[in-house]
Amino acid sequence: MRVLFLNPPFHPRFSREQRSPAVTKSGTLYYPKWLATAAGVAIRNGHDVDLLDSPAAGCTVQEVIDRIQAKNIEAVVCDTSTPSILNDVSVIESLVQAKPALHVLMVGRHVSSLPRETLATSHVLEAVAIREYEYTVRDWLAAKACGADLSGVEGLVWRRRGGEIVNNAPRPAIENLDELPFVTEVYKRFLHTADYFYGHSLWPLVVFDTSRGCPYHCSFCVYPQTFSGHRMRYRSVSNVAEEFDFVAREMPEIKTVMLEDDTFIISKPRTLELAKELIRRGNKLPFDANCRADIGAEGELLSALHKAGARLFCVGFESGDVEVIHGMKKNNDDRRDAKYHEEAYRFVRRCREAGIMVHGCFMVGNLNETPASMEKTLQFAKKLRPDTAQFFPIMVYPGTAAYEEAKKRDYIQIEDWGAWLTKDGLHNSVVNLPNITHEELVSFCDRARRSFYLNPSYLVYKMKQSAKDRRELQRNLKGFVTLSKYLLRGSRHQQSSKAEISPARRAAARAASAQGD
């Protein structure tokens, strides 16, 4: 079939794939990694594939329609997210209105968590894929191509002609990750790498995984709970190293690889084996990776990783308060909570000694947060002094334990999913704690960001870093230009603009969300 894999239009540079989808203050824009991987699987199975990342390319709905007509597209696989779901449904309605014979499959974490509720929002919605969807898309396309019944497509929730919604058998997680195509091959074929930027990484960059899953059960973390699961699955070391080789050979403009594993260092022996293989192959590409602060990484492992190319770890430190860490289930063993911050300081120190930078992620608004614990978090961040930092109000998403607990305690009142963003597409927490409003959470993050980045000692550190390395100078300037306007004006708490979504659509969404509560 002629199929379009679509990251649909919304706010310019809306980062739909990241863990908390929004327009980011640093200018960060994630690659559509899952969508691109599914596109690669479809290409392998003989389909005529197109891939369009509208927020990156700046495409309008009409331009998408024109592209579908020009290429005679028969099917669309459409990515979604919680903050954009009303918009995404509206986009699909426009596409189907322009071409009624179009087949559409919705994918993403929101529809995976609320499939029936999503299908109930519009009669034009046909099907939703659950969790990891590469092979579900493959089988859906095969069925559509030959007119087969959809009942045999694992991982699909779909609507029969008469309106009945059917839940098919779940699809097992992919065991052999080496079966999947290199997602970077798909990037090279369809995307403009210069469009994508991570505030903590050298630019331009590419993103791929070396594993799926995370054994930890943090209450807020959306991917393990809604997509990749808690059981670790690894690509082989040689397969990962070959993708590094592909990027170095075929994408010479790339300055960094970002490893988007949920948590990079879980198996230390396997991580050391990968480091040694990259060293053996003479890897010259720096890489960044998501990591935990309490993995107890030894200096020997960190030094080997740095020699292999490790440049920076992105670490979720979350909170400076032990009780908040305990409440979010950050550790699988509660006895570790008391040592969490001590281990965090040790990890940052060992990373510095090994020559690896750290990007710190801090969150406020967890269910036992207080004004005092928020201040502890700010002081914790400033004392750690990571290379860069982000401060987020908690964003609770369907499918997570944090969302269910917040609903149970009546801490959130959902009118529509657009409330998860400000009118400019920035993060806007919808959690109202007993002693802290969501406006206060957003305001605190604005203040914390200013306090961290405008600290004189931090500015001196950044100037020295920029003077020593031209690549870091480029990164610092690019990030600061975008971030500076938010340091001055803050986030502006207003909710997302409702102008493009009809009252009927919002009413349907409210009714559907009520069915899922």
Task: Yes or no: say if 394 and 220 are a contact pair by the CB < 8 Å rule.
Answer: yes
SS (H, E, C) 65-115: HHHHHHCCCCEEEEECCCCCHHHHHHHHHHHHHHCCCCEEEEECHHHHHCH
pLDDT of amino acid 478? 63
pLDDT of amino acid 295? 81
| One domain for residues 399 and 442 | yes
| One domain for residues 274 and 322 | yes
How many domains does the chain contain in total?
A: 2
Q: Spell 294-312 as b/e; 16+ CB within 10 A means b.
A: bbebeeebbbbbbebbbbb
> What pTM does this model have?
0.90
Separation CA 338–CA 323 (nearest Å): 9
Judge whether residue 205 has pLDDT over 90.
yes
Q: What is the pLDDT of residues 304-346, one digit of tens each?
A: 999 999 999 999 999 999 999 999 999 877 778 888 999 999 9
Q: CB-based burial of residue 234 (10 Å sphere; 0-12 exposed, 13-18 middle, 19+ buried)?
A: buried
Selection from 165-174, 437-446, 475-484 with the highest mean pLDDT: 165-174
Separation CA 26–CA 199 (nearest Å): 6
| One domain for residues 284 and 337 | yes
Separation CA 429–CA 438 (nearest Å): 6
Q: What is the pLDDT of residues 58-112, one digit of tens each?
A: 999 999 999 999 999 999 999 999 999 999 999 999 999 999 999 999 999 999 9
| One domain for residues 403 and 449 | yes
Separation CA 4–CA 30 (nearest Å): 19
Q: What is the pLDDT of residues 12-40, one digit of tens each?
A: 999 999 988 999 888 889 999 999 999 99
Nearest to 199 by CA among 486, 455, 488: 486
Q: Is residue 233 part of a domain?
A: yes
| One domain for residues 148 and 274 | no
pLDDT band, residue 414 (cuts 50/70/90)? low
Q: Is residue 195 part of a domain?
A: no
| One domain for residues 207 and 114 | no
| One domain for residues 151 and 238 | no
Show the CA angle centred on residue 74, arms to residues 69 and 76, nearest 5°: 95
Judge whether residue 231 has pLDDT over 70.
yes
Residues ≥6 apart with Cβ < 8 Å to 413: 430, 432
* DSSP state, residue 45: T
Q: Is residue 496 part of a domain?
A: no
Q: Is residue 139 part of a domain?
A: yes
Average pLDDT over residues 276-291: 97
Task: Yes or no: say if 77 and 4 are a contact pair by the CB < 8 Å rule.
Answer: yes
pLDDT of amino acid 360? 95
Average pLDDT over residues 138-144: 97
The SS3 assignment for 394 reads coil
**Full residue range of the structural domain in which residue 480 is found:** 201-412+429-489
| One domain for residues 160 and 288 | no
Output the CA–CA distances (angstroms, integers) from residue 190 to 57, 183, 184, 213, in the order listed: 11, 11, 10, 27
Q: What is the pLDDT of residues 417-434, one digit of tens each?
A: 988 898 889 888 888 999
Question: Considering the chain, what is the average pLDDT of its residues?
Answer: 90
Judge whether residue 457 has pLDDT over 90.
no
Separation CA 106–CA 110 (nearest Å): 10
Task: Yes or no: say if 315 and 361 are a contact pair by the CB < 8 Å rule.
Answer: yes
Q: Is residue 505 part of a domain?
A: no
Separation CA 140–CA 155 (nearest Å): 10
Separation CA 107–CA 77 (nearest Å): 7
Judge whether residue 278 has pLDDT over 50.
yes
| One domain for residues 296 and 159 | no
Average pLDDT over residues 284-312: 92
Kindly write down the DSSP assignment for every residue of 200-269, as one continuous string: TS-SSEEEE-SEE--S---TT-HHIIIII-SS-EE--HHHHHHHHHHHHHH-TT--EEEE--SSS-SSHH
Q: Is residue 105 part of a domain?
A: yes
pLDDT band, residue 468 (cuts 50/70/90)? confident
- Helices 268-280 and 237-250: angle between axes, nearest 10 degrees: 40
| One domain for residues 214 and 134 | no
Nearest to 149 by CA among 140, 162, 138: 140
Q: Is residue 129 part of a domain?
A: yes
Paired with 259 in beta bridges are 208, 289
pLDDT of amino acid 480? 65
Tell me the percentage of the chain whose pLDDT exceeds 90.
Answer: 75
pLDDT of amino acid 502? 47
Show the CA angle centred on residue 417, arms to residues 377 and 216, nearest 5°: 45
* DSSP state, residue 13: T
Residue 483 or residue 390, greater confidence: 390
Task: Yes or no: say if 174 and 134 are a contact pair by the CB < 8 Å rule.
Answer: yes
Give me the torsion for CA of 91, 94, 96, 99, rounded to 10°.
-130
pLDDT of amino acid 367? 83
| One domain for residues 268 and 213 | yes
Judge whether residue 511 has pLDDT over 60.
no
| One domain for residues 163 and 209 | no
Amino acid letter for position 103: H
